[in-house]
Amino acid sequence: ADSAEAMAKYYDEDEGTSAKEQAHKSFQSLQLSRPILKALSALNYSLPTPIQSASIPIALLGRDIVAGAVTGSGKTAAYMIPIIERLLYKPTKISKTRVIVLTPTRELAIQVADVGRKLGQFVQNLTFGLAVGGLNLRQQEQELKKRPDIVIATPGRLIDHIRNSPSFSVDGVEIVIMDEADRMLEEGFEKEMQEIVELLPTKRQTMLFSATMSSSIKQLITWSLQKPVRIMIDPPK
């Protein structure tokens, strides 16, 4: 009920033309596959939030995105929906990790994985894995060996696994998400982020989400994204 109320605020308040226009789109009009529409209704997400309406069509085109929107605006589904959709378009025969979601903390990674699993609950053979500090390294390695489609990671632990888990690889990664990029930089992950970007395939889609835009974020954007589409949603007044 809380989240529905938070969302309702978006539609009640005047947020400028573009956000308002976007807000009236439905999930159906975004041309999503049935398993995703089914999951959205199971989650009681009846209308996309402004960041979701604006990001989903662009993300589906494969473009890089820089998205700014306040906390609570629905950024997780804004990237998770198009990720799942794009994996569905192009199924692969061999299992490999195709998506990396970077988050600043273990808690956030666990939350993102939970949202992902719920949005992907009606998609067959969609697998998630975690690479985060504080959880047993060997156990995680066993999980990552199976090459889950979507790995949600904190930067330090991801590097650990790339270096030390021989059966885990990021060579097949197609999509990279930097969630809460501002917080990742605040937590001092700049070096790790740089190293990760260097290890990833250059041909990939990268989407960066942040509640704030600082000069260090702008630098991160410059060296990790290609011709990104910028989507800034004004905070509700």
What distances in angstroms separate CA 214 from CA 178, 186, 230, one per listed residue?
A: 15, 11, 14
Question: Binding ligand ADP by CB under 6 A: which of 72, 156, 172, 236?
Answer: 72
Nearest Cα neighbor of 179 from 228, 114, 108 is: 108
Stretch of residues binding ligand ADP (CB under 6 A), selected from 10-18, 41-49, 131-139, 226-234: 41-49
| Pair 230, 69: CB distance under 8 Å | no
Size of the site for Mg ion (CB under 5 A): 1
Of 13 and 198, the one with the shorter C-beta distance to ligand ADP is 13
Amino acid present at 115? V
Stretch of residues binding Mg ion (CB under 5 A), selected from 50-58, 71-79, 81-89, 150-158: 71-79
Exposed/middle/buried for residue 180 (C-beta within 10 Å: 0-12, 13-18, 19+): buried
Taking the complex as a whole, the smallest distance from the CB of residue 108 to Mg ion amounts, in Å, to 7
Of 45 and 168, the one with the shorter C-beta distance to ligand ADP is 45
- Residues in CB range of 130: below 8 A, 6 or more apart: 109, 110, 113, 140, 143, 151, 152, 153
Gap between the Cα atoms of 169 and 149, Å rounded: 12
Residue 29 lies near ligand ADP (rule: CB under 6 A): no
Taking the complex as a whole, the smallest distance from the CB of residue 51 to ligand ADP amounts, in Å, to 7
Q: Give the SS3 label for residue 65.
A: strand
In the region spanning residues 7 to 26, those forming contacts with ligand ADP, defined by CB under 6 A, are 7
| Pair 79, 26: CB distance under 8 Å | no
Question: Binding Mg ion by CB under 5 A: which of 68, 75, 173, 185?
Answer: 75
Residue 48 lies near ligand ADP (rule: CB under 6 A): yes
23 binds, among Mg ion, ligand ADP, none (CB under 5 to 8 A by kind): none
What is the residue whose two structure tokens read 């990664």?
Answer: 173
Footprint on this chain of ligand ADP (rule: CB under 6 A): 3-4, 6-7, 45, 47-49, 52, 69, 71-77
Residues that bind Mg ion (CB under 5 A): 75
